[in-house]
Amino acid sequence: MSRIYSTFNKIRFTSISESYKIKSIYKSALNNVYSNFILYVKGTYDGTAKYKRQAVKVLNILTYAAYTSTTLPYNWNMNIPFVNIPDIPDDELEESLGDIYLTPEAIEWDLDVVNAPMAEMPTVDTTKVVATADTLPKVPNDILMGNRNNVSYRPSQLSDVSIKPPEIPQFDTSRIWKQKMCGSDLLTIYTTLPEIPKVQRDISITTDINRLTNQDLINLYPNRILQTRASIMYIPQDNLPYDNDLGVIIPIDGYTLEQCKENIIKYPHFYKLARYDASWPDNNGFRGFYSFMEIDGELIDTLEVWSSLEIAKKIPTTTEYIKEYVVRKYLLDRDIGHKKFKYPLFGTLDPFLTLFMPASDYQKYGYDIIETAKACVNSRISFKQSRSPILRRMINE
């Protein structure tokens, strides 16, 4: 997806609150937040590349928080916006924000360098910020008040359930998980840390589910509902079913509404899905899963066939909706229809790869919370092992 703002079409930093092309439903809340952030940056700007990266990161996170209903930590403060801001991966931000994703190069930094001492930095009236940004997601009072004195508490973030591993993974180099000579190469996989995952993102190819207690499994559930799908899927559409927890339900021929809802619960998040065929010359045999649909044993370009499909008359013709339909139709056909594909998904994708609701919500839908958490761990281990080039080489050679 092309971006609105680039080195050839920059947005002035001081005009972001008025000119930034965010969705209209968020303007009244975010414009006030942007205005206060601009005020802070005007008083602290040092002109360095590091500062620009920090400022843009915060801007993207503020927008992302509104778009995805992600709650910022209660100890985040507009007076010191670079502190206690959650670490959300850039690719996750870009995926959610789409064409309005910002980079330092896409901004005209129309600011003067300031070298004022901290005591002279502008102070934002935080009571005003809370009032004007009242439509931004908040932590439920019963959760917040019950944990406020616990410094380790924070609302669950989308980054906790990300499929992408940490930017700087940690290993115990004294413990070899798997090692093998492949040709002239000695391939080694060390045990990943932490061995007991604290959040779902910690689960790796070396995680041993047998070491997790029931409490460890329960700890993997987020403490609030996370909106893991594309942000547009949480905007009601007049002609489509909508669930307050799950978002828009895309009807798929041959399957009931309940089956479509269950599919979202089991598969709330898709990440870099692909098909593979060694005979394909481009991209080492890989093709983006969403770009093609298998029809009668043939791969057809999705956009070429889309207008002829009945579903095209029912849902918006946007990238996010087309992706959702293509993957969910495949998964329903695979899991419920037991259809065999000539061009299947590369790697595994098992149910409950991502737990996006508190344990109590899964109980509400009739799931056993221990067994569901085990399914999450096993699904993530399988997902990552089946896509690890080193492990695949060890197995195949």
- What pLDDT is recorded for position 149? 35
Q: Residue 1 has what pLDDT? A: 54
Residue 239 lies in a domain: yes
pLDDT beyond 60 at 197: yes
Phi and psi, residue 190, nearest 5°: -90, 160
Summarize pLDDT for 65-109 with one digit per residue, the tens.
Answer: 888 877 777 667 777 788 878 888 888 888 889 889 999 999 999
Listed residue (323, 333, 382, 324) closest to 353, CA to CA: 382
CA distance 268 to 357: 10
Q: What angle in degrees, to the nearest 10, is found between the helix axes of 369-387 and 389-396?
A: 70
122, 238: one domain: no
| Nearest C-alpha neighbor of 106 from the set 53, 68, 66 | 53
Closest residue by Cα to residue 386 from 338, 363, 358, 353: 353
Token pair recorded at residue 169: 């993974």
Instruction: Please list the helix, strand and coil fractions of the chain in percent, rounded to the nearest 5, in that order.
Output: 45, 10, 45
- Same structural domain for residues 144 and 238? no
15 shares a domain with 142: yes
Range of the domain at 141: 11-155
pTM value is 0.65
Q: Same domain, yes or no, for 138 and 36?
A: yes
User: 3-state DSSP call for residue 354?
Assistant: coil
Query: How many Cα neighbours within 13 Å face the side chain of 368?
Result: 5
Are residues 145 and 25 both part of a single domain?
yes
Average pLDDT on 342-364 reads 95
**Residue type at position 89:** P
The tokens of 219 are what? Answer: 């700890």
Q: Is residue 138 part of a domain?
A: yes
The answer as to whether 78 is a domain residue is yes
Q: Is residue 172 part of a domain?
A: no
| 259 plus 148 within the same structural domain | no
Q: What is the pLDDT of residues 337-351, one digit of tens each?
A: 999 999 999 999 999
* pLDDT at position 331: 98
Residues 35 and 143 in one domain: yes
Q: Are both 18 and 113 inside the same structural domain?
A: yes
- 210 lies in some domain: no
Please give the pLDDT value at position 190: 93
Q: Does one domain contain both 113 and 241?
A: no
Establish if 219 belongs to a structural domain. no
Tokens of 63: 């927008």
Residue 38 forms part of a structural domain: yes
The residue among 122, 155, 188 that closes a domain is: 155
Q: How far apart are CA 217 and CA 220, in angstroms?
A: 5
Last residue of a domain, one of 155, 178, 206: 155
Judgement on whether residues 258 and 145 belong to the same structural domain of the protein: no
Q: Is residue 195 part of a domain?
A: no
Over residues 274-317, the pLDDT tens digits come to 999 888 887 788 998 999 999 999 999 999 999 899 899 999 88
Most confident of the ranges 22-31, 111-120, 273-282, 348-357: 348-357
Residue 269 sits in the same domain as residue 145: no
Q: What is the pLDDT of residue 71?
A: 72
Mean pLDDT of 168-178: 89
Residues 268 and 136 reside in one and the same domain: no
pLDDT: which is higher, 208 or 136: 208
How many structural domains compose the chain? 2
